[in-house]
Structure 1
Protein backbone atom coordinates (compact mmCIF):
# COMPACT_ATOMS: atom_id res chain seq x y z
CA UNK A 1 0.00 0.00 0.00
CA UNK A 2 1.27 3.44 -0.90
CA UNK A 3 1.38 5.92 1.94
CA UNK A 4 -0.19 9.29 1.27
CA UNK A 5 1.17 12.20 3.30
CA UNK A 6 -1.03 15.05 4.47
CA UNK A 7 0.40 18.24 5.88
CA UNK A 8 -2.29 19.50 8.26
CA UNK A 9 -1.45 23.12 9.00
CA UNK A 10 -3.45 24.98 11.64
CA UNK A 11 -3.87 28.54 12.82
CA UNK A 12 -4.94 29.65 16.29
CA UNK A 13 -8.73 29.47 16.07
CA UNK A 14 -11.01 27.50 18.42
CA UNK A 15 -11.33 24.42 16.13
CA UNK A 16 -7.60 23.76 16.64
CA UNK A 17 -8.52 22.30 20.04
CA UNK A 18 -10.22 19.43 18.12
CA UNK A 19 -7.10 18.57 16.14
CA UNK A 20 -6.36 15.23 17.84
CA UNK A 21 -9.67 13.83 16.61
CA UNK A 22 -9.07 15.28 13.14
CA UNK A 23 -5.66 13.61 12.98
CA UNK A 24 -7.24 10.29 13.96
CA UNK A 25 -9.94 10.63 11.30
CA UNK A 26 -7.37 11.50 8.61
CA UNK A 27 -5.34 8.47 9.63
CA UNK A 28 -8.45 6.26 9.41
CA UNK A 29 -8.81 7.57 5.86
CA UNK A 30 -5.30 6.36 5.06
CA UNK A 31 -3.25 9.54 5.52
CA UNK A 32 0.14 9.84 7.18
CA UNK A 33 -0.37 13.17 8.96
CA UNK A 34 2.30 15.80 9.63
CA UNK A 35 0.98 18.54 11.90
CA UNK A 36 2.17 22.14 11.60
CA UNK A 37 0.96 25.00 13.77
CA UNK A 38 1.28 28.75 13.84
CA UNK A 39 3.21 29.92 16.91
CA UNK A 40 0.03 30.93 18.74
CA UNK A 41 -1.68 27.62 17.93
CA UNK A 42 1.41 25.81 19.23
CA UNK A 43 1.21 27.83 22.43
CA UNK A 44 -2.49 27.02 22.83
CA UNK A 45 -1.75 23.30 22.41
CA UNK A 46 1.59 23.22 24.24
CA UNK A 47 0.45 20.58 26.77
CA UNK A 48 -0.82 18.36 23.92
CA UNK A 49 2.19 18.61 21.60
CA UNK A 50 4.04 15.50 22.87
CA UNK A 51 0.91 13.37 22.51
CA UNK A 52 0.20 14.79 19.05
CA UNK A 53 3.74 13.94 17.97
CA UNK A 54 3.26 10.37 19.18
CA UNK A 55 -0.14 10.16 17.48
CA UNK A 56 1.22 11.37 14.12
CA UNK A 57 4.63 9.70 14.37
CA UNK A 58 6.25 13.02 13.37
CA UNK A 59 7.42 16.09 15.27
CA UNK A 60 4.80 18.83 15.45
CA UNK A 61 6.36 21.85 13.78
CA UNK A 62 5.75 25.55 14.29
CA UNK A 63 9.06 26.99 13.11
CA UNK A 64 11.42 26.68 10.20
CA UNK A 65 14.31 24.23 10.31
CA UNK A 66 17.82 25.63 10.18
CA UNK A 67 19.63 25.60 6.82
CA UNK A 68 21.43 22.30 6.43
CA UNK A 69 19.21 20.41 8.88
CA UNK A 70 17.46 17.34 7.51
CA UNK A 71 13.73 17.65 6.96
CA UNK A 72 11.90 15.60 9.59
CA UNK A 73 8.74 15.22 7.51
CA UNK A 74 8.20 13.19 4.34
CA UNK A 75 7.16 15.08 1.20
CA UNK A 76 3.52 16.17 1.14
CA UNK A 77 1.00 14.70 -1.27
CA UNK A 78 -1.70 17.15 -0.12
CA UNK A 79 -1.78 20.16 2.21
CA UNK A 80 -4.78 21.29 4.23
CA UNK A 81 -4.74 24.65 6.00
CA UNK A 82 -7.54 24.56 8.56
CA UNK A 83 -8.56 26.31 10.62
CA UNK A 84 -7.12 29.25 8.69
CA UNK A 85 -7.45 32.60 10.42
CA UNK A 86 -7.90 35.97 8.76
CA UNK A 87 -4.20 36.63 9.35
CA UNK A 88 -3.02 33.33 7.86
CA UNK A 89 -5.21 33.65 4.75
CA UNK A 90 -4.09 37.21 4.07
CA UNK A 91 -0.40 36.53 4.77
CA UNK A 92 -0.48 33.52 2.43
CA UNK A 93 -2.16 35.43 -0.40
CA UNK A 94 0.43 38.21 -0.03
CA UNK A 95 3.37 35.79 0.26
CA UNK A 96 4.40 36.99 3.74
CA UNK A 97 6.36 33.99 4.92
CA UNK A 98 7.67 35.00 8.32
CA UNK A 99 5.74 32.07 9.86
CA UNK A 100 6.45 28.42 9.10
CA UNK A 101 2.86 27.51 8.19
CA UNK A 102 2.59 30.32 5.63
CA UNK A 103 6.04 29.58 4.24
CA UNK A 104 5.14 25.93 3.64
CA UNK A 105 1.99 26.77 1.69
CA UNK A 106 3.53 29.65 -0.24
CA UNK A 107 6.28 27.31 -1.41
CA UNK A 108 3.72 24.55 -1.95
CA UNK A 109 2.11 26.61 -4.70
CA UNK A 110 5.39 26.65 -6.63
CA UNK A 111 5.85 22.93 -6.01
CA UNK A 112 2.33 22.33 -7.33
CA UNK A 113 1.24 20.39 -4.24
CA UNK A 114 -2.56 20.06 -4.17
CA UNK A 115 -3.89 22.28 -1.39
CA UNK A 116 -7.12 23.23 0.32
CA UNK A 117 -7.86 25.99 2.79
CA UNK A 118 -10.84 26.29 5.09
CA UNK A 119 -11.00 29.65 6.83
CA UNK A 120 -12.31 30.14 10.33
CA UNK A 121 -13.38 33.76 10.60
CA UNK A 122 -16.32 35.46 12.20
CA UNK A 123 -18.73 37.65 10.26
CA UNK A 124 -16.96 40.84 11.35
CA UNK A 125 -13.69 39.69 9.75
CA UNK A 126 -15.61 38.39 6.76
CA UNK A 127 -16.82 41.92 6.01
CA UNK A 128 -13.24 43.13 5.54
CA UNK A 129 -12.52 43.37 1.83
CA UNK A 130 -9.05 41.87 2.23
CA UNK A 131 -10.50 38.45 3.00
CA UNK A 132 -12.41 38.14 -0.28
CA UNK A 133 -9.43 39.43 -2.25
CA UNK A 134 -7.08 36.98 -0.54
CA UNK A 135 -9.37 34.00 -1.06
CA UNK A 136 -9.71 34.92 -4.73
CA UNK A 137 -5.90 35.14 -5.03
CA UNK A 138 -5.57 31.67 -3.54
CA UNK A 139 -8.23 30.28 -5.90
CA UNK A 140 -6.39 31.78 -8.86
CA UNK A 141 -3.21 30.03 -7.66
CA UNK A 142 -5.04 26.69 -7.70
CA UNK A 143 -5.92 26.33 -4.02
CA UNK A 144 -9.28 24.71 -3.23
CA UNK A 145 -11.05 27.29 -1.05
CA UNK A 146 -13.67 25.77 1.25
CA UNK A 147 -15.57 28.91 2.16
CA UNK A 148 -19.21 29.80 1.82
CA UNK A 149 -22.05 27.36 1.10
CA UNK A 150 -20.71 23.82 1.27
CA UNK A 151 -17.65 24.92 3.26
CA UNK A 152 -17.09 27.17 6.25
CA UNK A 153 -19.66 29.90 6.69
CA UNK A 154 -18.79 32.75 9.05
CA UNK A 155 -20.57 32.93 12.37
CA UNK A 156 -21.36 36.01 14.46
CA UNK A 157 -18.51 37.12 16.76
CA UNK A 158 -18.60 34.94 19.86
CA UNK A 159 -21.07 32.44 18.36
CA UNK A 160 -20.02 28.83 18.76
CA UNK A 161 -20.83 26.50 15.89
CA UNK A 162 -19.32 23.16 14.82
CA UNK A 163 -16.42 23.51 12.40
CA UNK A 164 -16.99 21.39 9.26
CA UNK A 165 -13.91 19.18 9.56
CA UNK A 166 -15.59 16.45 7.50
CA UNK A 167 -15.86 18.82 4.53
CA UNK A 168 -12.16 19.61 4.83
CA UNK A 169 -11.13 15.95 5.00
CA UNK A 170 -13.41 15.06 2.09
CA UNK A 171 -11.61 17.76 0.04
CA UNK A 172 -8.24 16.28 1.07
CA UNK A 173 -9.37 12.83 -0.08
CA UNK A 174 -10.51 14.28 -3.41
CA UNK A 175 -7.25 16.18 -3.92
CA UNK A 176 -5.27 13.04 -3.09
CA UNK A 177 -6.92 10.89 -5.78
Structure 2
Protein backbone atom coordinates (compact mmCIF):
# COMPACT_ATOMS: atom_id res chain seq x y z
CA UNK A 1 0.00 0.00 0.00
CA UNK A 2 1.60 3.31 -1.05
CA UNK A 3 2.18 6.02 1.52
CA UNK A 4 -0.63 8.52 1.15
CA UNK A 5 -0.69 12.11 2.33
CA UNK A 6 -3.90 12.86 4.28
CA UNK A 7 -3.88 16.35 2.77
CA UNK A 8 -4.49 14.79 -0.64
CA UNK A 9 -7.31 12.70 0.82
CA UNK A 10 -8.84 15.97 2.00
CA UNK A 11 -8.18 17.67 -1.37
CA UNK A 12 -10.01 14.92 -3.26
CA UNK A 13 -12.88 14.86 -0.75
CA UNK A 14 -13.26 18.61 -1.08
CA UNK A 15 -13.28 18.61 -4.89
CA UNK A 16 -16.45 18.79 -6.96
CA UNK A 17 -18.29 15.44 -7.30
CA UNK A 18 -17.34 15.09 -10.98
CA UNK A 19 -13.66 15.57 -10.13
CA UNK A 20 -13.34 13.09 -7.28
CA UNK A 21 -13.29 9.87 -9.36
CA UNK A 22 -10.87 11.44 -11.86
CA UNK A 23 -8.45 12.48 -9.11
CA UNK A 24 -8.78 9.13 -7.38
CA UNK A 25 -8.03 7.18 -10.55
CA UNK A 26 -5.06 9.38 -11.45
CA UNK A 27 -3.64 8.93 -7.96
CA UNK A 28 -4.02 5.15 -8.15
CA UNK A 29 -2.35 4.98 -11.58
CA UNK A 30 0.60 7.10 -10.43
CA UNK A 31 1.17 4.73 -7.50
CA UNK A 32 0.77 1.68 -9.71
CA UNK A 33 3.43 2.99 -12.08
CA UNK A 34 5.65 4.36 -9.32
CA UNK A 35 5.04 2.50 -6.02
CA UNK A 36 7.65 4.61 -4.27
CA UNK A 37 6.14 7.96 -5.27
CA UNK A 38 5.89 10.43 -2.42
CA UNK A 39 2.78 12.55 -2.12
CA UNK A 40 2.86 16.20 -1.13
CA UNK A 41 1.05 19.49 -1.68
CA UNK A 42 2.74 22.24 -3.68
CA UNK A 43 1.07 25.43 -4.91
CA UNK A 44 -2.12 24.19 -3.20
CA UNK A 45 -2.38 21.12 -5.44
CA UNK A 46 -1.40 17.45 -5.11
CA UNK A 47 2.09 16.62 -6.41
CA UNK A 48 3.93 13.33 -6.69
CA UNK A 49 7.68 13.21 -6.04
CA UNK A 50 10.23 10.66 -7.24
CA UNK A 51 14.03 10.49 -7.08
CA UNK A 52 14.25 13.89 -5.45
CA UNK A 53 12.15 15.81 -7.96
CA UNK A 54 8.58 16.48 -8.98
CA UNK A 55 7.16 13.72 -11.15
CA UNK A 56 3.68 15.03 -11.89
CA UNK A 57 0.78 16.94 -10.38
CA UNK A 58 -2.98 17.16 -10.60
CA UNK A 59 -5.53 19.84 -9.83
CA UNK A 60 -9.30 20.20 -9.74
CA UNK A 61 -11.08 23.26 -11.07
CA UNK A 62 -14.74 24.20 -11.29
CA UNK A 63 -15.39 22.32 -14.52
CA UNK A 64 -12.31 20.23 -15.22
CA UNK A 65 -9.31 18.40 -13.84
CA UNK A 66 -5.71 18.83 -15.03
CA UNK A 67 -2.89 16.32 -14.80
CA UNK A 68 0.58 17.23 -15.94
CA UNK A 69 4.18 16.11 -15.94
CA UNK A 70 6.81 18.43 -14.47
CA UNK A 71 9.07 17.69 -17.43
CA UNK A 72 6.16 17.92 -19.88
CA UNK A 73 8.15 18.56 -23.07
CA UNK A 74 10.57 15.72 -22.38
CA UNK A 75 7.85 13.24 -21.44
CA UNK A 76 5.22 14.11 -24.05
CA UNK A 77 7.58 15.00 -26.88
CA UNK A 78 8.13 18.17 -28.88
CA UNK A 79 5.04 19.67 -30.44
CA UNK A 80 2.68 18.53 -27.67
CA UNK A 81 1.60 21.78 -26.08
CA UNK A 82 0.76 22.06 -22.42
CA UNK A 83 -2.78 23.21 -21.61
CA UNK A 84 -2.10 25.43 -18.61
CA UNK A 85 -0.77 22.98 -16.02
CA UNK A 86 -2.09 19.90 -17.83
CA UNK A 87 -0.44 17.48 -20.23
CA UNK A 88 -3.75 15.95 -21.38
CA UNK A 89 -6.10 18.91 -21.73
CA UNK A 90 -9.14 19.52 -19.57
CA UNK A 91 -10.72 16.37 -18.21
CA UNK A 92 -14.36 16.54 -17.14
CA UNK A 93 -14.97 12.81 -16.61
CA UNK A 94 -13.05 9.56 -16.18
CA UNK A 95 -13.71 8.91 -19.89
CA UNK A 96 -11.42 11.84 -20.72
CA UNK A 97 -8.41 10.13 -19.14
CA UNK A 98 -5.81 8.73 -21.54
CA UNK A 99 -5.64 4.94 -21.82
CA UNK A 100 -4.19 3.41 -18.66
CA UNK A 101 -1.45 1.61 -20.61
CA UNK A 102 -0.38 4.92 -22.20
CA UNK A 103 -0.41 6.76 -18.88
CA UNK A 104 1.61 4.05 -17.13
CA UNK A 105 4.22 4.20 -19.89
CA UNK A 106 4.48 8.00 -19.72
CA UNK A 107 4.81 7.97 -15.94
CA UNK A 108 7.58 5.40 -16.38
CA UNK A 109 9.31 7.76 -18.79
CA UNK A 110 8.99 10.63 -16.31
CA UNK A 111 10.42 8.41 -13.56
CA UNK A 112 13.46 7.58 -15.69
CA UNK A 113 14.11 11.26 -16.38
CA UNK A 114 14.10 12.02 -12.64
CA UNK A 115 16.32 9.02 -11.88
CA UNK A 116 18.81 10.18 -14.52
CA UNK A 117 18.84 13.69 -13.05
CA UNK A 118 17.62 15.26 -16.29
CA UNK A 119 16.71 18.91 -15.80
CA UNK A 120 13.75 20.70 -17.30
CA UNK A 121 15.00 22.41 -20.48
CA UNK A 122 15.23 26.17 -20.25
CA UNK A 123 13.45 28.46 -22.61
CA UNK A 124 15.34 29.16 -25.82
CA UNK A 125 16.75 32.65 -26.10
CA UNK A 126 15.47 34.64 -29.02
CA UNK A 127 18.10 35.83 -31.48
CA UNK A 128 16.74 39.35 -31.26
CA UNK A 129 14.65 40.87 -28.46
CA UNK A 130 10.98 41.27 -29.18
CA UNK A 131 9.60 44.78 -28.75
CA UNK A 132 7.49 45.47 -25.67
CA UNK A 133 3.87 44.46 -26.29
CA UNK A 134 1.19 47.11 -26.56
CA UNK A 135 -1.28 46.94 -23.69
CA UNK A 136 -4.92 46.61 -24.80
CA UNK A 137 -7.09 49.68 -24.22
CA UNK A 138 -8.86 48.39 -21.12
CA UNK A 139 -5.60 47.41 -19.42
CA UNK A 140 -3.93 50.70 -20.38
CA UNK A 141 -6.89 52.64 -18.93
CA UNK A 142 -6.83 50.61 -15.70
CA UNK A 143 -3.09 51.15 -15.30
CA UNK A 144 -3.51 54.91 -15.70
CA UNK A 145 -5.78 54.81 -12.63
CA UNK A 146 -3.35 52.79 -10.51
CA UNK A 147 0.18 54.19 -10.30
CA UNK A 148 1.63 51.21 -8.39
CA UNK A 149 0.30 48.71 -10.93
CA UNK A 150 1.48 50.87 -13.83
CA UNK A 151 4.99 51.15 -12.36
CA UNK A 152 5.24 47.36 -11.93
CA UNK A 153 3.98 46.69 -15.44
CA UNK A 154 6.40 49.21 -16.94
CA UNK A 155 9.34 47.71 -15.02
CA UNK A 156 8.58 44.18 -16.20
CA UNK A 157 10.51 42.84 -19.21
CA UNK A 158 8.43 42.31 -22.38
CA UNK A 159 7.92 38.60 -21.69
CA UNK A 160 6.30 39.23 -18.31
CA UNK A 161 4.16 42.03 -19.71
CA UNK A 162 3.05 39.67 -22.47
CA UNK A 163 1.99 37.02 -19.92
CA UNK A 164 -0.55 39.45 -18.45
CA UNK A 165 -1.71 40.66 -21.86
CA UNK A 166 -2.13 37.14 -23.27
CA UNK A 167 -4.06 36.08 -20.17
CA UNK A 168 -6.36 39.07 -20.49
CA UNK A 169 -7.05 38.83 -24.23
CA UNK A 170 -7.48 35.06 -23.93
CA UNK A 171 -10.75 35.53 -22.03
CA UNK A 172 -13.68 34.40 -24.16
CA UNK A 173 -16.40 36.24 -22.23
CA UNK A 174 -16.64 39.88 -21.24
CA UNK A 175 -17.29 39.12 -17.57
CA UNK A 176 -14.27 36.80 -17.49
CA UNK A 177 -12.12 39.52 -19.04
CA UNK A 178 -13.36 42.06 -16.51
CA UNK A 179 -12.49 39.72 -13.63
CA UNK A 180 -9.05 39.05 -15.08
CA UNK A 181 -8.45 42.77 -15.56
CA UNK A 182 -9.29 43.51 -11.92
CA UNK A 183 -7.11 40.62 -10.76
CA UNK A 184 -4.23 41.72 -12.98
CA UNK A 185 -4.28 45.26 -11.61
CA UNK A 186 -4.40 43.94 -8.04
CA UNK A 187 -1.43 41.63 -8.58
CA UNK A 188 0.55 44.28 -10.44
CA UNK A 189 -0.04 46.77 -7.64
CA UNK A 190 1.49 44.17 -5.30
CA UNK A 191 4.49 43.77 -7.62
CA UNK A 192 3.55 40.24 -8.63
CA UNK A 193 4.18 38.44 -11.91
CA UNK A 194 1.32 36.76 -13.71
CA UNK A 195 2.39 33.26 -12.63
CA UNK A 196 3.66 34.17 -9.18
CA UNK A 197 1.69 31.30 -7.58
CA UNK A 198 3.75 28.70 -9.41
CA UNK A 199 7.18 30.20 -8.80
CA UNK A 200 9.76 29.32 -6.17
CA UNK A 201 9.49 25.56 -6.31
Query: What TM-score comes out, normalization by structure 2 length?
Result: 0.27
Specify which structure has the higher proportion of helix: 2
Higher relative contact order (CA 8 A, sep 6+): 1
Q: Which has the larger radius of gyration?
A: 2
